[in-house]
Amino acid sequence: MIWPTRRSANTPPTSDQAAAAAAAAAGNAAVPDTAAKDIAVSEPASASTMPKLPPRATVKPTVAPKAPEIRRIDLYTELKVDLHQKLIERINLSALDTMSREQVGRDIGDIVQEMLKEVNHALNLVERRQLVEDILDELLGLGPLEPLLKDPTITDIMVNSATSVFVERSGRLEQIGTRFANDGHLLRIIGKIVSNVGRRVDESSPMVDARLPDGSRVNAIIPPLALDGPCMSIRKFSKTPIDMDKLVGYGSMPPDVATVLKGIVKSRRNVLISGGTGSGKTTMLNAMSASIEPHERVVTIEDSAELQLQQAHVVRLETRPSNIEGKGEVNQRDLVKNALRMRPDRIILGEIRSGEAFDMLQAMNTGHDGSMTTVHANTPRDALSRVEQMIGMSGIDISPKSARSQIASAIHVVLQLERLSDGRRRLTSVAEVTGMEGEIVLMQEIFKFERRGIDADGKVIGEMKAMGIRPKFMEQLSARGIDLAPSLFDPFKRVEGKA
């Protein structure tokens, strides 16, 4: 029961805990650590670590919501924060831990009812219920983010500042009316998220990667690096991962190409998945991994674990940033090296970004066929150049020609993904690396997405076509008993009727 320590709204809080938590709730910096624990307020709330936010350089005009709407949202946010603050002064915070959300909800509902009378706010039943839900989200969860996290149609949440929030639904970005009370409120929520995974965000480490308990990937960057106040990006974890059949169902690739991709994984070809930010690289990696045989030992390496492999024989590794003294960092490169000592059949590296590219190519070249990774690049050719640059970053003294020959022998297939102008993600190219000629890595495109235009609704029209080339990897496929019909690669047979 949270009533026992209840005081009148006018009585100043007697416990440091309550006062501190209330201050934290309002985005105030002076919060002792003891108080932080009970309502899960995290480190940034401490006066010493809390960065001072510089004044906003510019006020960005927001497209939506419109002015009267903003005023209404502001009034509601003010009321919510005000009541939340008053509530914290009244309730027994430590009791919250032992109660279910329903129990807390019932008690809070009663208190809110009473407080609404005091502040003279007339709310109808629906509004009151919403207010209680929102206050519960503040107390027990991540405040304004909670409804967005619960909404299954939202895949990405982008908090540009306390008053500017965008989400992605069905591939489309839209600005929504969600607002935080102020920068301090947003910073408190960020602090709550990152402290849950033992990380911190403050002036000395203003950029941080974290994960929500449900696996969603979070990045936060705060002033002085972020000019318009704290900023956070959340890639929501999909509870039911997108598999190959779903990718085909969404029109991301034709069924015939999906059959070929499954064959590529089964025949242990090394695959590089290339694409821009949010183009679906991790999703494709995950979908392809389903074709790995259950008896194979797989080691996955990621900066922020997102892969959801279904096999039983999987070891998941995640990098670690340095601690407050700048020590203890374990990067992807260290993990790739370690993975090689773990007797893996295949290594799956979430994304190559730097020197680990060299070690990954070594792994691919030395008996770990069937390994896969992703890279940020716009075309398959560009992807190989990026890998070459990354080899340079590894500090290994190697000539461009040797680097290219490493690439040509390690990577067998490059897949290109794109987020099209209509918001849909698509496989746009399947290319095969065939060897070297002089200093050039040879590639041939097996399938290619050909755009024919855009329809009246802005939807991209096009189809994926076979380029009429019988891939070299057919030999490996046949050797493993996977026989793909030659007609799959026939350019005159349309592999897809519609985009």
Ligand X SMILES: Nc1ncnc2c1ncn2[C@@H]1O[C@H](COP(=O)(O)OP(=O)(O)OP(=O)(O)O)[C@@H](O)[C@H]1O
Q: How far apart are CA 166 and CA 168, in angstroms?
A: 7
Torsion of CA 437, 438, 441, 443, to 10 degrees: -20
Minimum distance from CB of 306 to Mg ion (Å)? Answer: 6
* Backbone CA torsion sign across 132, 137, 143, 145: negative
Of 410, 496, 487, 484, nearest in space to 452 by CA: 496
Task: Report which residue's Cβ sits closest to ligand X.
Answer: 280
Residue 308 is a binding residue for Mg ion (CB under 5 A): no
Contact 145, 154 (CB under 8 A): no
Q: How far apart are CA 306 and CA 226, in angstroms?
A: 26
The interface partner of residue 247, options being ligand X, Mg ion, none and the CB cut-off 5 to 8 Å by kind, is ligand X
Part of the chain binding ligand X (CB under 6 A), chosen from 1-9, 206-214, 244-252, 404-412:
244-252
Residue 321 is a binding residue for ligand X (CB under 6 A): no
- H/E stretch holding 141 reads none
Maximum Cα interatomic distance, the chain, rounded to a whole number of Å: 83
Part of the chain binding Mg ion (CB under 5 A), chosen from 4-12, 101-109, 275-283, 325-333:
275-283
Minimum distance from CB of 258 to ligand X (Å)? Answer: 11
Residue 252 is a binding residue for ligand X (CB under 6 A): yes
Part of the chain binding Mg ion (CB under 5 A), chosen from 95-103, 276-284, 400-408, 428-436:
276-284
The interface partner of residue 263, options being Mg ion, ligand X, none and the CB cut-off 5 to 8 Å by kind, is none
Part of the chain binding Mg ion (CB under 5 A), chosen from 32-40, 152-160, 277-285, 316-324:
277-285
Minimum distance from CB of 147 to Mg ion (Å)? Answer: 25
The interface partner of residue 373, options being ligand X, Mg ion, none and the CB cut-off 5 to 8 Å by kind, is none
Binding residue (CB under 6 A) for ligand X from 167, 242, 349, 390: 242
Q: Under DSSP, is residue 18 helix (H, G, I), strand (E, B) or coil?
A: helix
Rounded to 5 degrees, φ, ψ at 439 are: -105, 5
The interface partner of residue 161, options being Mg ion, ligand X, none and the CB cut-off 5 to 8 Å by kind, is none
Residues 399-428 interacting with ligand X (rule: CB under 6 A): 425
Binding residue (CB under 6 A) for ligand X from 42, 49, 155, 289: 155
Minimum distance from CB of 84 to ligand X (Å)? Answer: 31
Residues 270-309 interacting with ligand X (rule: CB under 6 A): 275, 277-283
Q: What strands lie across the sheet with 207-211, from one edge to the other?
A: 172-176, 164-169, 154-161, 231-235, 217-221, 207-211
Q: CA distances (Å), 422 to each of 171, 172, 457, in order?
A: 8, 8, 9
Binding residue (CB under 5 A) for Mg ion from 282, 319, 332, 416: 282
DSSP β-ladder status, 372-376 and 346-349: parallel
What length does the chain have? Answer: 499
Site string for ligand X, 178-197 (x = CB under 6 A): --------------------
DSSP β-ladder status, 217-221 and 207-211: antiparallel
Binding site for Mg ion (CB under 5 A): 281-282
Residues at the site binding ligand X, with contacts judged by CB under 6 A: 155-156, 235, 238, 242, 247, 250, 252, 275, 277-283, 425
